[in-house]
Structure 1
Amino acid sequence: MPVVTPPPDHPNIRIPQVPPIPPRFLALGLIPLLVLLGVCYWWFVQRIEVQAGEVLVLVRKWGEPLPAEAGDQVVLYPELLKQLGEPPDSTRYTGILYEVLPEGRYFYDPLFWKRITAPAQFVGENEIGILIRKFGRPLPPGKALATEPDERGPVREWLQPGRHNINPFAYDVVRVPKVQVPEGSIGVQTLLSGAEPKNPNSYVVASGERGVQPDILPPGLYEVNPYEKRIDVIDVRSHTIDLRGDDAIRFPSNDSFEILIEGTVEYAVRQDKAPYVWVAIGDHEDVESKIILPYIRSLSRIEGSKLIAREFISGESRKQFQDRIFEGLRESCYTQGIEIRAVLVRKIEPPAAIAGPISERQIAQQEIARYENEIKVARSEAKLVEQEELQKQNQAIGGANREVVTLTLQAEQSKAVAITEATQRLEVAKLELEAAQETAVALRSRGQAEAQVTRLEYEAQAQPLAQAIAAFGGGDAYAQFFFYQKLAPALHTITDSTSGPLADIFRAMTDVPDRPPSTALPALSARSRADEPDSAGDVVEGGEQ
């Protein structure tokens, strides 16, 4: 190992000298270090974690700035790139990317990209999300919705309940509740964005034109973009107005007495006229103050001025006065979209100076009417008793008639049942007779067939016999042949046998002592042969026959 020369002040110290490292080994040692540095830069600098419920917005730093024709745009949305002649995935210009990335792990170099995390948009169950576009051209005057993809402002489409990954630099999200039209109410629609109305002076425009629409919405839950349409809820159930106290009606009678009236008016808004009522009149307070109260005060003064003070106490006059007010108020309000359902006059207060005498007169008239009513009641009770007795008599007659009818029906039913049973038995007997006749015919046919078969069998057996008789020329010849045929074997057996009584007889006849055997036997033999039938020949001949 080489030794380095010691310093002058320390001559005894020996310092070893390190040899220089070759350049190739130095390069090999730097490669792992660079790789480690690259991995650390990639993991700790370029890595970005997007948590749950967040989105990642990327801003491109490297590239050309947007041209002047893009104006103040900073979001690289598809329509802008198309206008600049670039594809949707172009990397030419700097700016905010339109698309966002959901939660996850991503690697983007901060030298080239600005990375911004933002919360995702959540829309609740009973609400919708309205998108307000931040990029694009400003809306022209009079236009409320951004209907073109490059227009800035509220968008017609809305977000349904749930999570939505929205670029916060491109859109604002306004959450609005759904519109609830309860039972007993309707919804009046006002279109805020649409075509100009052909008749701008009309309270209700045609469907699709900007303004109050003629169509109404029934009860239900509706999703409505408030920048496009407004829904006003109108109660179409019955409402009442109490005319009492300060609201009581005062007017002079025909004879200049002041009359005070208290009553109740029941009304409802017509559904087919609800849009007109809403825009031309207003809500229920406006309906009462602008339509019903002025009309009923005017009608009460007009009709009340036709009657004198004492006529307001009489029940008949009060009823006619109430009916005239009801009919007049209903006709006047119906054309305004208000349906008058009832008008009730609860109290009519005449002046005290005439109230007493008129009341006494009314009491006397009421007493007379009460007595007349009692007489009518007594007559009605007598007639009721008479009707009850007639009813009992009719019930008794009706019961007897029902019993007669019941017995008659039972007898007719029994008769019908007996006739039905007899008819059934007759039909059964007829069927049995037909079956017996068919059985007899079948038995007769079978007997005839069996007799015919037996006769044919006998004929078949007799046919060979008749042929044999015809061959012999007659019955006698055939009988003699048959007799010989049966007798010949027996005679042959007898003559051939040398033992037995018959053989002894023949032996005795042939045993002659004085005559030599040679002379007697031939003659006997010849005679026996002459008398013996030719059995063999007969059998053969009979067989041939």
Structure 2
Amino acid sequence: MADKKKGKKGRGRKKKAPIEEPRQSKASQEEESLSGKELDQTKEAEKLSFEEKQSSEKKVNSEQKPEEQGKVLEEKEHKKIEKEREAPQETAWEERKEAETNEEEVRQEEEKKEISEQDSQEAHQPLPLADKEEIAEDKSIQEEASSETESKKILKKVVFNYMDHESGEHTMSKKSENKRIPISASPKHYILTGILILLLGYFFWVWGIERIYVPPGHMLVLNLKIGKPNPDPENLRVVPEGIQGIQKVVLGEGRHFYNPLFYERETQWKVYEIGIDEVGVVTSRSGKPLPPGQFLTKKLEGEKGIWERVLTPGKWRINPHAYRVEIKKIVEIMPGFVGCITAKAGKEPRENPADFLGEAFKVFEEMERAFPFQKKILNSYFQKLSKGFQKMAVVTPWLENILDGGKIKEYWNLTKQLEVEELPSTKAELQKQLDELRKTARENIQILLAKLSKLKGLDRYLFSKKLERACFLLALSIPPKLQNDMESHSNEYEKLFQAIQKKSNQKEFLQFKRKLDNTLDLAELAFRGEILSNKDEKGIQKDVLQPGIYYINPHKYRVDIVEIGYRQLPLYDVKFPSKDGFPLKLDISVVWGLRPGEVPYLIKKYGNIKDIDQKVIRPQVENICKNFGSKYEAKKFIEGATRKEFQQAFTAELERVCRERRIDILLGLVRDIQVPQAVRRPIQEGKIADLEKDMKVEQQKAQKVKNELVALQQEVVRGRRNVEVETQKIVEKIEAETKKIVAGIEADTQKEVAKIMKEVAHWRALREQILGEASAKVLEMVKTAEADKLRQNIRALGGAKAYSNYIFTQNLPNNFKVYIRYAGQGTFWTDLPRELKAIEKAAALKILEKGK
């Protein structure tokens, strides 16, 4: 609490410090202190000369005679009146000057007193170091302020004296009795006057010329006219401070002070305001050009191009000469939707399946060199690689020295055509071309076998395995020389494998497998056109944007908002032929949907939702209807069992096909099957006839049942009547027996009641007897008690007569009064004692005496 109070006192003292102007530099303070000292010296000299003159005048006046002194005084008064008439303005000026001086002195004295009182109060309290520093700082500020006020006072006096000097004489204050002392014009006075004029001129220049006001919502752009030249005027539209041209930094609203001779000042530019649902895209027009093909820049300064970073909602002061700001809408993704991101800038993605297969082949070679003893696993990976090369028709590394790249692709294409071709002539032609390619490959293999003898150890084994696999891929028989070489060196290879196996690391082998599997998966995705880009690559990104608000640069990314979940697709008039050749039409509803993680793959492969509808769902529905509908005759589709079987098969096949394409099928519902009238009419007529026949049979059965029902109803009526008669007999019998039982019960009840009443009467009489005896005994005891009480009272009062007197007095009324009259000597009155002459006391005493 003490510290807080001290802090409050310190702050209060700072507020009272007479600081009227901002602090000046040390040089200006020293100059003012020097000028103040000189002025003090001149002032003291003037005071001394004035006092000497007054003392001399007093001496002269004392030496003169009274008559001469009177004459001198009259002359002085006369001169004073004349001067007041001649110069009324001078006296008014003097009076105003003197009043201002007195007010200033009084104000300074009051401030000094307040400061001294505060210092004396705080001196008795121990202050922390921080408060002592604040007090020292306050004192220094007060000394500076007092020196400034003293300098101002001196300047005022100098100005006044200078004005008096121009009129020919110097006036003093009223304290010196308005006596004037002529002074000489000193150079210091001219210097101080010049300084004052310069200060006023500087204030007018700064506040009137340099000052510029920037209104709210605007910014100030400066163009420097002098300074170093722009080193790159073609690219640098804005420059840093000190260089000629438009300055990089812009200033906000408020007052600014810039010399118009050095700067061109622009205030018409408004601050860029970005709304809550907007972003600002900034294009830099100042800086170094970007490399060819690049239009986005990560740097906020020094490069031309579009900033990757966007401006978020708010107010931004950006130099309009160097940057252009475009206002764009934010990306808002509602619940039930996701955003598919497509990068417009970045590295080119790897989308060629041959690149991934080549990388997988290199990993396979490294794996085989490091772990040659893992023959089964290596052979399985070789099968995967060979199928991939054959399926994608790319250059196979195993065949590079056997067939050139063009012939390898030709070989793969011929094998595919041969598998699907059905015409014998075409098949024979394709087979002939394949045989020619195989012949060329066989000749090249024989040439390569000559290099086998130059190799040893693991290199020899790997080269022989490469030739063996080439023969397998080209469907060639293994040359005998190669077969013999592998068998002859089998023991050597086994020893080599054992030595390598001892040094091998199982963890490294698993890493090879994982890397090879991932590369093969990427090659398969690239072949299907489903490979996605990484974050630093162009194209569709793997990750999607979940519901929310995103501040995204539209020049860097394109966001396609896709609805996820299930949607219904109605299809009408889906045509396909039946097994017996009749055209059929179906109306089908397909409920399909997308999962968030599968959206990028589908957008990349097919396009938007409409493209998925047109390119996948509709064609697959038509193909499945044709494939499965052609297995049934037309008349089967009229029956319910066949329609149900067809719908189940259709839904299952559609789910399987679409699942392979990353689409979920919830339901495939066949709503209507339109069979031709030629097929439907005879079937319907036959069905109607069968139904009519069945209806007649059912009607006969119903009539028979109806007759049986009438007979049963009659039986029910008869039975009900019999039951009613029997029931009446039984009821009457029960009622007679009930009455008899009730009469017996009533007689027994009366007997019991009479018996009980007799006992009650006995007990009542006994009760009356007991109560009578008790009451008589109580009465006897009460009377006995009363007699005892009377006896004791009589005994207590001394006899029956006293007791009767007592009773008599007790029964007297409260307002009973006794009047005793005086009857002369010897009467009752005269016999009473003096102290008992009160009537009530005397009566009571008399009664008591009689009682005795």
> TM-score, length-normalised on structure 1?
0.56
* Matched residue type, 2:265: R
Aligned twin of 1:320: 645
Equivalent positions of 1:481-520 (< 5 A) are none
Q: Call closer, same or farther: CA 1:367–1:188 in 2, change over 3 Å.
A: farther
Equivalent positions of 1:214-229 (< 5 A) are 214-229=542-557
Does 2:236 correspond to 1:73? yes
**Which among 284, 292, 309 is matched to residue 133 of structure 1?**
284
Aligned twin of 2:302: 150
CA distance in 1, matches of 2:273, 2:674: 65
**Which among 523, 531, 534 is matched to residue 207 of structure 1?**
534
In the TM superposition, what is the alpha-carbon distance from 1:72 to its structure 2 partner? 3.2
* Higher percent of residues as helix: 2
* Matched residue type, 1:207: N
Q: Which has the higher contact order (CA 8 A, sep 6+)?
A: 2
In the TM superposition, what is the alpha-carbon distance from 1:329 to its structure 2 partner? 1.7
Aligned twin of 2:119: none
In 2, are the aligned partners of 1:312 and 1:350 still within 8 Å (CA)?
yes
Cα deviation, 1:166-200, whole Å, max 9, x if unaligned, reads: 22122222222221111111111112233332336
Q: Which moved more, 1:315-324 or 1:165-174?
A: 165-174
Cα deviation, 1:484-515, whole Å, max 9, x if unaligned, reads: xxxxxxxxxxxxxxxxxxxxxxxxxxxxxxxx
In 1, are the aligned partners of 2:286 and 2:304 still within 8 Å (CA)?
yes
SS in 1 for 2:580: coil
In the TM superposition, what is the alpha-carbon distance from 1:119 to its structure 2 partner? 1.0
In the alignment, structure 2 segments of 5+ residues that lack a partner are: 1-184, 353-525, 703-852
**Which among 318, 326, 346 is matched to residue 166 of structure 1?**
318
In the TM superposition, what is the alpha-carbon distance from 1:71 to its structure 2 partner? 3.9
SS in 2 for 1:273: helix
CA distance in 1, matches of 2:203, 2:546: 65
In the TM superposition, what is the alpha-carbon distance from 1:231 to its structure 2 partner? 1.4
In the TM superposition, what is the alpha-carbon distance from 1:158 to its structure 2 partner? 2.1
* Matched residue type, 2:227: G
In the alignment, structure 1 segments of 5+ residues that lack a partner are: 1-21, 78-89, 376-545
Aligned twin of 1:97: 247
Does 2:341 correspond to 1:189? yes
In 2, are the aligned partners of 1:144 and 1:227 still within 8 Å (CA)?
no
SS in 1 for 2:607: coil
Q: Call closer, same or farther: CA 1:227–1:363 in 2, change over 3 Å.
A: same
* Matched residue type, 1:102: G
Q: Which moved more, 1:284-293 or 1:310-319?
A: 284-293
Aligned twin of 1:415: none
In the TM superposition, what is the alpha-carbon distance from 1:135 to its structure 2 partner? 0.9
Equivalent positions of 1:162-311 (< 5 A) are 162-199=314-351, 202-208=529-535, 209-244=537-572, 248-311=573-636
CA distance in 1, matches of 2:212, 2:692: 102
Aligned twin of 1:492: none
> TM-score, length-normalised on structure 2?
0.37
CA distance in 1, matches of 2:295, 2:654: 42
SS in 2 for 1:158: coil
CA distance in 1, matches of 2:634, 2:348: 58
In 2, are the aligned partners of 1:250 and 1:261 still within 8 Å (CA)?
yes
Identity of aligned residues (%): 34
Q: RMSD value over aligned CA atoms? A: 3.2
**Which among 262, 275, 285 is matched to residue 112 of structure 1?**
262
In the TM superposition, what is the alpha-carbon distance from 1:369 to its structure 2 partner? 10
In the TM superposition, what is the alpha-carbon distance from 1:272 to its structure 2 partner? 2.4
In 2, are the aligned partners of 1:136 and 1:151 still within 8 Å (CA)?
yes
Cα deviation, 1:298-329, whole Å, max 9, x if unaligned, reads: 22122222111100101111111112221222
In the TM superposition, what is the alpha-carbon distance from 1:48 to its structure 2 partner? 0.4
CA distance in 2, matches of 1:235, 1:263: 22
Cα deviation, 1:259-303, whole Å, max 9, x if unaligned, reads: 121121111123322111112212222112111111111221222
* Matched residue type, 1:104: G
In 1, are the aligned partners of 2:235 and 2:287 still within 8 Å (CA)?
no
CA distance in 2, matches of 1:343, 1:98: 66
Q: Call closer, same or farther: CA 1:368–1:102 in 2, change over 3 Å.
A: farther
Does 2:448 correspond to 1:121? no
Aligned twin of 1:48: 212
Q: Call closer, same or farther: CA 1:98–1:368 in 2, change over 3 Å.
A: farther
In the TM superposition, what is the alpha-carbon distance from 1:155 to its structure 2 partner? 1.3
Does 2:223 correspond to 1:59? yes
* Matched residue type, 1:99: V
Q: Call closer, same or farther: CA 1:95–1:354 in 2, change over 3 Å.
A: same
Cα deviation, 1:99-129, whole Å, max 9, x if unaligned, reads: 1111111111111011111211111112222
* Matched residue type, 1:214: K
In 2, are the aligned partners of 1:48 and 1:105 still within 8 Å (CA)?
yes
CA distance in 1, matches of 2:281, 2:543: 24
Q: Which moved more, 1:178-187 or 1:59-68?
A: 59-68
Cα deviation, 1:228-271, whole Å, max 9, x if unaligned, reads: 22211111132222222xxx112221212121211211111233
CA distance in 1, matches of 2:229, 2:239: 11
* Matched residue type, 2:253: E
SS in 1 for 2:565: coil
SS in 1 for 2:289: coil
Aligned twin of 1:416: none
In the TM superposition, what is the alpha-carbon distance from 1:361 to its structure 2 partner? 4.3
Q: Call closer, same or farther: CA 1:366–1:317 in 2, change over 3 Å.
A: farther
SS in 1 for 2:636: helix
CA distance in 2, matches of 1:232, 1:203: 17
In 1, are the aligned partners of 2:238 and 2:286 still within 8 Å (CA)?
yes
SS in 1 for 2:295: coil
Corresponding residue pairs, total: 337
Q: Call closer, same or farther: CA 1:187–1:196 in 2, change over 3 Å.
A: same
CA distance in 2, matches of 1:175, 1:217: 22
Q: Call closer, same or farther: CA 1:104–1:320 in 2, change over 3 Å.
A: same
CA distance in 2, matches of 1:162, 1:114: 28
SS in 2 for 1:122: strand
* Matched residue type, 1:261: L
